[in-house]
């Protein structure tokens, strides 16, 4: 049986998994008893970021061979526990790169320009033309924290728009070939230099013990007062309270937060973000577009079926 606990492209389920024994319920993640019943028969499990694939879940799935991840973040999956039980984990590598890259560029342009802030004024009949003289993205410095494939897709777009791109990635040496791409160069920098010199800082790191709260009040204080911070990586990498405080005091120019320490953000946690200036909030959709959902879903179907077929051979 293939058990799918969160939403995916329905055509990929219907056509890609036709003839298979499949349980597909986009809300199954929120029905633990039902999920436990299905896990007893599961040979494959397909999840997004909410299903916690921890030992407690794995104990309920004695026949599990493979976990298909409809995305690339693996912080909801205990990789060691899966490895110890011989369960393969297949992330949808590369399939949502373009979606996240477009989100980063889109929110950077939106926040630099400030052009979204006029509706109430225009409706009220005022004409705040001078106040809304925003900034261009061309000529600005984009600082990428982490330089994996999503960051590279973002850098390519930024270079095409006339930005200078710098990046901090402790896993890459200064002589790595990745800094010179066919579309241009990216300059490796220390984290401090990147924070101090970037107009837009975007995060592209997984959530680990090393990256938790890496953008805290001290890191934000190193950034320019007019800088834009974009977190489409994972909540927990950015200190939310420090970001809100900096936006309110004007020591940070703007922020786009797509991911949060607690997801889904409930009304109580959400209240902390009410009336914060120059803040764009989105519900973890940077990696989810119509197109990426299609790519991610079909890639995951292929990954899971390939794995099950290899096991049977």
Ligand X SMILES: O=C(O)[C@H](O)COP(=O)(O)O
Residues 234-273: b if buried by 16+ CB within 10 A, e if exposed:
bbbbbbbebbbebbeeebbbbbbbbbbbeeebeeeeeeeb
Phi-psi region of 142 (alpha: psi -120 to 50; beta: other; left: phi over 0): beta
Q: What is the maximum span of the chain, computed from C-alpha positions, in angstroms?
A: 71
Number of residues that bind ligand X (CB under 6 A): 10
Question: Least Å distance between CB 173 and ligand X?
Answer: 26
Residue with the CB atom nearest ligand X in the bound state: 71
Instruction: Identify which of residues 71 and 188 has a Cβ nearer to ligand X in the complex.
Output: 71
> By three-state DSSP, how is residue 293 classified?
helix
| Residue 63 annotated as catalytic | no
Active site residue: 65, 157, 234, 295, which one?
A: 234
Q: Which stretch binds ligand X (CB under 6 A): 22-30, 64-72, 170-178, 273-281?
A: 64-72
Question: Least Å distance between CB 284 and ligand X?
Answer: 5
Binding of ligand X by 154 (CB under 6 A): no
Among residue numbers 66 through 95, which ones bind ligand X (CB under 6 A)? Answer: 70-73
Q: Which has the closest alpha carbon to 169: 196, 203, 142, 199?
A: 203
Instruction: Identify which of residues 199 and 258 has a Cβ nearer to ligand X in the complex.
Output: 258
Among residue numbers 233 through 292, which ones bind ligand X (CB under 6 A)? Answer: 284, 287-288
Fill in the per-residue mask, 96 to 115: x = in contact with ligand X (CB under 6 A), - = not in contact: x-------------------
Q: Which has the closest alpha carbon to 250: 216, 278, 280?
A: 278
Instruction: Identify which of residues 164 and 293 has a Cβ nearer to ligand X in the complex.
Output: 293
Binding of ligand X by 49 (CB under 6 A): yes
Question: Least Å distance between CB 266 and ligand X?
Answer: 18
Contact 38, 28 (CB under 8 A): yes
Active site residue: 38, 157, 284, 295, which one?
A: 284
Residues 6+ apart with CB under 8 A from 296: 8, 9, 70, 71, 92, 95, 96, 287
Instruction: Identify which of residues 11 and 122 has a Cβ nearer to ligand X in the complex.
Output: 11
Binding of ligand X by 142 (CB under 6 A): no
Instruction: Identify which of residues 73 and 134 has a Cβ nearer to ligand X in the complex.
Output: 73
Torsion angle, alpha carbons of 192, 193, 195, 199, to 10:
180
Cite the active site residues: 234, 263, 284
Positions in the binding site for ligand X (CB under 6 A): 48-49, 70-73, 96, 284, 287-288
């Amino acid at each position: 049986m293939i058990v799918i606990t969160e939403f995916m492209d329905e055509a990929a389920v219907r056509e890609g998994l036709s003839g298979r024994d499949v349980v597909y319920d986009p809300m199954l993640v929120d029905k633990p008893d039902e999920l436990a019943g299905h896990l007893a028969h599961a040979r494959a499990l397909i999840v997004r970021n909410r299903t916690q694939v921890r030992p407690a879940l794995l104990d309920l799935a004695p026949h599990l061979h493979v976990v298909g991840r409809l995305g690339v973040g693996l912080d909801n999956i205990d990789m060691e526990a899966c490895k110890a039980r011989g369960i393969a984990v297949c992330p949808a590598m590369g399939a949502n790169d373009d979606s996240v890259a477009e989100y980063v560029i889109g929110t950077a342009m939106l926040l630099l320009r400030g052009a979204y802030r006029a509706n109430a004024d225009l409706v009220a009949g005022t004409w705040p033309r001078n106040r809304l003289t925003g900034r261009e993205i061309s000529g600005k410095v984009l600082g990428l924290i982490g330089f994996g494939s999503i960051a590279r897709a973002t850098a390519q777009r930024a270079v095409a728009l006339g930005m200078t791109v710098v990046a901090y990635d402790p896993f890459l040496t200064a002589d790595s070939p990745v800094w010179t791409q066919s579309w241009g160069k990216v300059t490796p920098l220390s984290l401090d230099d990147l924070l101090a010199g970037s107009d837009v800082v975007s995060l592209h790191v997984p959530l680990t013990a090393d990256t938790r709260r890496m953008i805290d009040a001290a890191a934000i204080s190193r950034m320019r007062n007019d800088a834009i911070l974009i977190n489409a990586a994972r909540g927990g990498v950015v200190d939310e309270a420090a970001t809100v405080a900096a936006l309110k005091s004007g020591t940070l120019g703007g922020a786009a937060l797509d991911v949060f320490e607690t997801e889904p953000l409930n009304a109580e946690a959400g209240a902390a973000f009410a009336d914060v200036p120059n803040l764009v909030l989105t519900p973890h959709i940077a990696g989810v577009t119509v197109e990426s959902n299609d790519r991610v879903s079909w890639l995951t179907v292929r990954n899971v079926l390939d794995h099950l077929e290899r096991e049977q051979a």
